[in-house]
Amino acid sequence: MKFLVSIFSLVVAFSSNSAYADLCTESDRKNIAYFGSDYEPEVAYEFGKKIQAALISNDSQQFVDMFVGEMSNGPSIRTILSKNIRDIFTEAELNSVLTATPSCAPFNSSGYMLGPGTIWYAYYGDGTFKISALNVSKQDEKELDRTGWTVNNKMINPHCFEVKWRSDDNFEQFADRFNVSLSELYPNIGYVFGKQITDFDSIEPSWCKGDAGCEEVSLIHPLKECRSESYRVEGNSIFVEKDFDKKGYELLKSIDVVICEQLAPSIDGKCIEAYVVRVSGYRIGWYGLYGLFDLNGYGEAIVPLRYFKSKPEAMEAEY
């Protein structure tokens, strides 16, 4: 009943928002132009109201129809359509979105937001706006409620979950060294281990040019180098700072060891446990499936097996 009363109050408040229809100003037009776009600010304002209307009416289909595609974070479109809107947001998140007055000018280069970054939307040309990001705190029912990956009571360091850099530079070093293509390394990297790549040691990248202080690059990390004595816990995430670089991770889903070994069929070793992991750093996030293997002649190590473009893809992948 409390939720229904809250929604009724928001409907009244939302209806009164029509009084703001003339709040857009010339300054808003200048801000839009500053970010390289050309459209009427009222169009952005009305799109924000359209998002609110879909949530007030509890119309999941109308809501997801405004998505640019699957969100990199948050629940999948299929999950949203299968649930009541109130099961996607917390009550506080929903209230913050519905009581916000949609803006006439973009917040920054990423576009517009409703609530404290809960929903982001942006202009995609030809008068079209789309929801570009959904940041909700409710945990997916499929997610693990577990803080960090521990082995023998030692926390694994987030730097041991190797990801492909935005520049591709780290993967290109291995592609050149072992004569494999980037498409073989990403997304299904597990298939190259024990086949094209048989030496799992780190390598000196070409940009080091004999510099003794230059850091080598790796794909597979020995477990003995992955244990972290100093780390910070934020929710279910583990964060470690190294040389002014803050990196973190969160376990999202447990993967059966049989599937783990199927994703690296040529590797000489046994999978002990595996998880889908969200890795964060440099203000962006990556999603990957990693296995703890006992490799013959190498020992226990964290092995990347498969990468994903988004959280929904990672959570709903079939093997």
pLDDT for the residue numbered 34: 94
Element (H, E) at 55: helix 41-56
143 burial type by CB count under 10 A (0-12 exposed, 13-18 middle, 19+ buried): middle
For the chain, give the percent of residues with pLDDT over 70: 89
pLDDT for the residue numbered 19: 46
First to last CA, the chain: 43
- pLDDT tens column, 114-159: 998 899 999 998 889 999 988 887 655 566 777 899 999 899 999 9
Tell me if 162 sits within 8 A of 304, measured CB to CB. Answer: yes
DSSP 31: H
One-letter identity of residue 98? L
pLDDT, greater one: 289 or 143:
289
**Taking the CB of residue 64, how many other CB atoms lie within 10 A of it?**
19
Q: What is the spatial distance between Cα 123 and Cα 172, in angstroms, rounded to a whole number?
A: 34
Half-sphere exposure of 311 (CA within 13 A, CB side): 25
Phi, psi values for residue 86, rounded to 5°: -65, -15
- pLDDT tens column, 154-178: 999 999 999 999 899 999 999 999 9
pTM over 0.75: no
Lowest average pLDDT, out of 46-60, 71-85, 259-273, goes to 71-85
Both tokens assigned to 195: 């086949």
Using CA atoms, how far residue 81 sits from 225, 246, 318, in Å, is 43, 35, 20
Both tokens assigned to 93: 């998140």
pLDDT for the residue numbered 166: 87
Residue 21 has pLDDT above 60, yes or no: no
Residue 89 has pLDDT above 60, yes or no: yes
DSSP 226: T
* Closest listed residue to residue 314, CA positions, set 288, 290, 292: 288
Tell me if 263 sits within 8 A of 191, measured CB to CB. Answer: yes
**Taking the CB of residue 213, how many other CB atoms lie within 10 A of it?**
5
Average pLDDT of the chain, as a whole number? 88
- pLDDT tens column, 51-77: 999 999 999 999 999 999 888 777 888
Tell me if 50 sits within 8 A of 67, measured CB to CB. Answer: no
Phi, psi values for residue 115, rounded to 5°: 75, 180
Both tokens assigned to 283: 């203000």
pLDDT for the residue numbered 17: 46
Look at residue 241 and give its three-state secondary structure.
strand
Residue 82 has pLDDT above 90, yes or no: no
**Taking the CB of residue 197, how many other CB atoms lie within 10 A of it?**
22
Q: Can you give the residue ranges of every domain in the chain?
A: 2-134, 150-316
Phi, psi values for residue 304, rounded to 5°: -75, 135
**Taking the CB of residue 10, how many other CB atoms lie within 10 A of it?**
18
